[in-house]
C-alpha cells in the first residue's frame, strides 16, 4: 500500500535528484524524466506544481531547467507531498466515509486521527537533507539513474 500518489513519488524523487546537483544549477525536465523513468510531459506538470510553494525555481534558455529554490534542509517531505496531492490524506476518514468526524465517527476515527497526525509530523520534521543522509549512493544510482 502506498501512502502517496505516483505523482508525489515522482516529485519526491525529482527533489532527491536535484539535491545531488550543485545549488542553483538547472536540470531540464527531460533529463529528470529520463532519470526517473517518467513521461516528460507528466513530470513537467508536477515540477510546475513545486514552483508555486517555492520548492523549485526555473530558468529559461539554452541551459534552462529547474533547480531547488532553497537548501534541501529547508524542504520537508510534507510540503512536496501536499504540493502534488493536497492535504486530503491528513483530514480524510481511514475508511473513506463521508461525514466521519467527532460527531459521527467511524470505528477507526480516533485511532486514525492520532496516527495521521503522527505521520504528518514525521513528514514535516523530515527534510531532504535527512533523506539524502539516509540514502546510499548505490541506492541513488540504482533508483534514479541520474547521470547528467
> How far is Cα 131 from Cα 129, in angstroms, rounded to an integer?
5
- Identify the pLDDT of residue 64: 85
Domain range 6-86+127-144, CATH architecture? Orthogonal Bundle (1.10)
Q: What is the pTM of this model?
A: 0.84
Residue 66 is classified by DSSP as E
Most confident of the ranges 20-34, 112-126, 134-148: 112-126
Q: What letters, b where the CB count within 10 A reaches 16 and e where it falls short, cover 34-52?
A: bbbebeeeebbebbebbee
Domain ranges of the chain: 6-86+127-144
Looking at residue 136, its pLDDT comes to: 61
Tens of pLDDT, residues 45-98: 999 999 999 999 998 888 889 999 999 999 999 999 999 999 988 888 878 888
Amino acid at each position: 500500500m502506498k501512502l502517496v500518489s505516483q505523482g508525489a513519488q515522482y516529485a519526491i524523487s525529482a527533489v532527491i535528484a536535484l539535491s545531488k546537483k550543485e545549488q542553483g544549477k538547472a536540470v531540464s525536465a527531460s533529463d529528470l524524466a529520463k532519470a526517473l523513468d517518467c513521461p516528460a510531459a507528466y513530470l513537467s506538470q508536477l515540477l510546475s506544481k513545486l514552483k508555486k510553494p517555492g520548492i523549485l525555481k526555473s530558468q529559461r534558455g539554452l541551459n534552462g531547467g529547474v533547480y531547488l529554490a532553497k537548501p534541501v534542509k529547508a524542504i520537508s517531505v510534507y510540503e512536496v507531498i501536499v504540493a502534488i496531492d493536497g492535504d486530503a490524506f491528513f483530514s480524510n476518514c481511514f475508511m473513506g466515509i463521508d461525514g466521519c468526524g467527532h460527531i459521527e465517527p467511524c470505528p477507526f476515527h480516533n485511532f486514525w486521527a492520532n496516527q495521521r497526525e503522527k505521520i504528518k509530523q514525521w513528514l514535516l520534521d523530515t527534510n531532504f537533507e535527512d533523506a539524502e543522509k539516509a540514502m546510499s549512493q548505490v541506492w541513488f544510482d540504482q533508483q534514479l539513474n541520474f547521470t547528467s
